[in-house]
Chain A
Amino acid sequence: MDDIAPEYDAIVLGTGLTECILSGVLSVKGQKVLHIDKNDHYGGEAASVNIEALFKKYGNYTKGEEPWKKYGRVNDWNIDLVPKLLMSSGELTNILVSTDVTRYLEFRQVAGSYVQQGSGPKATVAKVPSDAGEALRSSLMGIFEKRRMKSFIEWVGTFNVDDSTSHKGLNINTTTMKDVYDKFGLEIGTRDFIGHAMALYTTDSYITEQGKAPETIERIKLYGNSVARYGKSPYIYPLYGLGELPQGFARLSAIYGGTYMLNTSIDEVQYDGAKAVGISATMHDRGGDSEPMKFTTKAKKILGDPSYFPGKVQVVGHVLKAICILNHPLAGTDNSDSAQLIIPQSQVGRKNDIYIAVVSSAHNVCPKGYYIAIVSTISETSANHHLELAPGFERLGRIEEKFMGPPIPLYEPLESGANDNIFISKSYDATSHFETTTDDVKEIYHRAEGHELVVEGLREGTNLVGGE
């Protein structure tokens, strides 16, 4: 077995998407990276697993039985543990393109983006309009409201934060979104789907916050541009599941010299004073036919996900999530092979939205005839979590299997890493896309490297030994 180098520029712990993007970027920039995972698979919390692994993870079956056997070939299933979709004009797409990781992956559109109005038996599901034309055809609004929505969307398209003539006389830096909505005379229901299904806020706090209007408008623009890019919905999704994303960036890192070790536990982080300077670790053999390999190595910095640093993170919230296997598409979505459905909080008397993400055999994540729907929200109570997700379950109809564990804690690092040289990522949050993940990537990069990560042209000027 090859020797492990005595020192690395960076040791990265965990192979979630955040860590793999950072590992890839650092390797492309010429740093010597050692990338370790304690698990025997890539992806950490953001992995995709087969159906046998899912049953075993949640333990919801009688020992001795093998309920996964009735679902066809186990390896035809790639079930995401974190429900997210890519915005087609979002930053993750930009990073995928600028790093050429697109070579290893294939994407498909998510067929539709939907929003619920009302609740209980009176609930209706409708497509989220993305441009002025769709607004006029939408069943979400009455005839006069459609006109107001059309003029709002047209205004968003012309809005430029630096050009006060495009601000409709509003002082954009101090105004609230409520002022903006009032200006256009938009009804409460319309505000609801604009804020939650287009700007993708999970709560209503953006409405009254001063100076929040430019950000909200940018988010609506991102939504509109993302829809315009491929047509049907603002979202795209990688074939074989989200677990392919970290693998793609891990491959990028390896191509630029990154060393990968899975199934490797960290025995100790070594410090010099307050600063982390290295690790000692043990690589376990998967087959168990050779001895574990212990090693020690130094690093100029250590990056990692919260699970490697339990003493250096805090819990900032809890996500509720249920993974459901269906054998039919979602009602009200035109039999779409995939969809996102948002249930805005106010429609069902909550503070946080409920999200449903659906993918299917069209994305090579399950055998033909099946659909995987993940219902999620931010926890608001300390018990009865099943009830919190109930409005989501109502949308699903008949459910073949339901996998639901305890609330999932969301972690954030306590410190920036300036003192201890350890740069910790955040947990994958409850948002439906990866924009906050890429924000975290950029923030960690900035903390660790002291300058901004420039995504454009990342691989330009890098020399590869064999060329590509």
Chain B
Amino acid sequence: MATKGPVGARGPAGSSRGGNSRFAQFKLVLLGESAVGKSSLVLRFVKDQFDDYRESTIGAAFLTQTISLDDQTTVKFEIWDTAGQERYKSLAPMYYRNANCAVVVYDITQASSLDKAKQWIKELQRQANENIIIALAGNKLDLVTDQPDKRAITTADAEAYARESGLLFFETSAKTSENVRELFTAIAKKLPLDQAGPRNPRSGGRGGVELRPENTSTQGAGNTCAC
């Protein structure tokens, strides 16, 4: 178990300033067709691992990773993977809710996967936060390094689409780790750190509660969330 906070904790979600340092937490969601490498990208980013024969996502559906932008600024991503619920178009609205940023992944060797990515981007623009930051990632760059003819989508085409739609754009390889860190760093830089609210700006404060096992909760009243 990596980076597991207290049960149900949202931590000091949002930004806090201690002295000159800044810490901000954001919700990031992944979208894209099955088998384009969504989970592999996250696994590379969070654990610096890669597994050639990775099965469809079971389990790794809630990971966190921090990025230090400079000495003073730390961004923490709370990463939600689809857990396979994208497969039959059955993602729950809960998944997009309050996402600050999204990585929409396609496979540069599968032309249809970019079409699918475009559909997800439309859906995000319709359903998610108005100010969501979206990055388009063309994954499996390693496959075309030795065999350029395997490429089905040119860099120029995807880049042009991303520019038109106001998206960040990277071609990545979860296998070799090329551009993976760059992708997440670029998102972190684009996030509005100063207004980094908790995942939902109106929550927190009065009345928020943190659920935890009863025997560990303090006696009596006053167990209110610090966020």
Interface, chain A (partner B; CB < 8 A): 1-2, 41-42, 88-89, 93-94, 96-98, 100, 102-109, 111, 228-232, 236, 239-240, 244, 247-248, 250-251, 254-257, 259-264, 283, 285-286, 337, 361-362, 364, 463-468
B7 at the interface (CB under 8 A from A): yes
A239 touches B200 (CB 8 A): yes
A260 touches B203 (CB 8 A): no
B39 touches A466 (CB 8 A): yes
List 9 A-B residue pairs with CB atoms under 8 Å apart, sorted by A's residue number.
A107-B209, A240-B97, A251-B85, A254-B61, A255-B59, A259-B88, A260-B85, A262-B88, A364-B202
A466 touches B214 (CB 8 A): no
A262 touches B62 (CB 8 A): no
Report how far A467 CA is from B84 CA in the complex, Å: 16
B83 touches A97 (CB 8 A): no
Per-position contact with A for B119-149: 1 when CB-CB < 8 Å, else 0?
Answer: 0000000000000000000000000000000
Report how far A229 CA is from B220 CA in the complex, Å: 5
Report how far A257 CA is from B87 CA in the complex, Å: 12
Report how far A239 CA is from B57 CA in the complex, Å: 28
Query: How many of chain B's residues have a CB under 8 angstroms from any CB in A?
Result: 49
Interface, chain B (partner A; CB < 8 A): 1-2, 4, 7-8, 10, 34, 39, 43, 55-63, 82-85, 87-90, 92-95, 97, 199-200, 202-203, 207-209, 211-214, 217, 219-224
User: Closest CB of chain B to A352's CB: distance in Å?
Assistant: 30
Chain B residues whose CB sits within 8 angstroms of the CB of A244 once the complex forms: 94
Asked whether A2 and B8 contact (CB < 8 A) given A93-B211, A106-B200, the answer is no
A465 touches B60 (CB 8 A): yes
User: Closest CB of chain B to A41's CB: distance in Å?
Assistant: 8
A251 touches B94 (CB 8 A): yes
A254 touches B84 (CB 8 A): yes
Chain A residues whose CB sits within 8 angstroms of the CB of B10 once the complex forms: 106
Q: Which of A231, A254, A364 has the most CB of B within 10 A?
A: A254
Extra pairs beyond A260-B90, A465-B57, A468-B1 (10, CB < 8 Å)? A42-B92, A97-B7, A106-B203, A251-B61, A261-B90, A264-B88, A466-B57, A466-B59, A468-B2, A468-B62
A250 touches B92 (CB 8 A): yes
Asked whether A94 and B90 contact (CB < 8 A) given A106-B200, A111-B207, A260-B85, the answer is no
Pick from B56, B59, B207: contact of A467, CB under 8 Å: B59
Chain B residues whose CB sits within 8 angstroms of the CB of A248 once the complex forms: 94
B211 touches A97 (CB 8 A): yes
Chain A residues whose CB sits within 8 angstroms of the CB of B213 once the complex forms: 97-98
Chain B residues whose CB sits within 8 angstroms of the CB of A231 once the complex forms: 221-224
Report how far A247 CA is from B203 CA in the complex, Å: 19
Chain A residues whose CB sits within 8 angstroms of the CB of B57 once the complex forms: 465-466
Report how far A227 CA is from B62 CA in the complex, Å: 31
A468 touches B63 (CB 8 A): yes
Asked whether A96 and B85 contact (CB < 8 A) given A230-B221, A255-B58, A465-B58, the answer is no
Asked whether A466 and B207 contact (CB < 8 A) given A102-B8, A247-B93, the answer is no
Chain A residues whose CB sits within 8 angstroms of the CB of B59 once the complex forms: 255-256, 463-468
Pick from A104, A107, A255, A464: contact of B208, CB under 8 Å: A107
Report how far A463 CA is from B1 CA in the complex, Å: 10
A107 touches B90 (CB 8 A): no
Q: Which of A240, A286, A467 has the most CB of B within 10 A?
A: A467
A259 touches B84 (CB 8 A): yes
Chain A residues whose CB sits within 8 angstroms of the CB of B214 once the complex forms: 89, 94, 229
B94 touches A466 (CB 8 A): no
B83 touches A229 (CB 8 A): no
Chain A residues whose CB sits within 8 angstroms of the CB of B92 once the complex forms: 42, 247, 250-251
Report how far A104 CA is from B213 CA in the complex, Å: 16
Asked whether A247 and B90 contact (CB < 8 A) given A106-B200, A255-B59, the answer is no
A467 touches B1 (CB 8 A): yes
Asked whether A2 and B1 contact (CB < 8 A) given A104-B94, A228-B220, the answer is no
Chain A residues whose CB sits within 8 angstroms of the CB of B223 once the complex forms: 229-231
Chain B residues whose CB sits within 8 angstroms of the CB of A106 once the complex forms: 10, 199-200, 203, 208
Chain B residues whose CB sits within 8 angstroms of the CB of A41 once the complex forms: 93
Chain B residues whose CB sits within 8 angstroms of the CB of A104 once the complex forms: 94
Chain B residues whose CB sits within 8 angstroms of the CB of A250 once the complex forms: 85, 92
Report how far A259 CA is from B211 CA in the complex, Å: 28
Chain B minimum-CB-distance residue to A261: B88
Chain A minimum-CB-distance residue to B83: A254
Chain B residues whose CB sits within 8 angstroms of the CB of A103 once the complex forms: 7-8, 62
Pick from B60, B199, B208: contact of A466, CB under 8 Å: B60
Chain A minimum-CB-distance residue to B91: A260
User: Closest CB of chain A to B41's CB: distance in Å?
Assistant: 12
Asked whether A283 and B88 contact (CB < 8 A) given A102-B7, A464-B58, the answer is yes
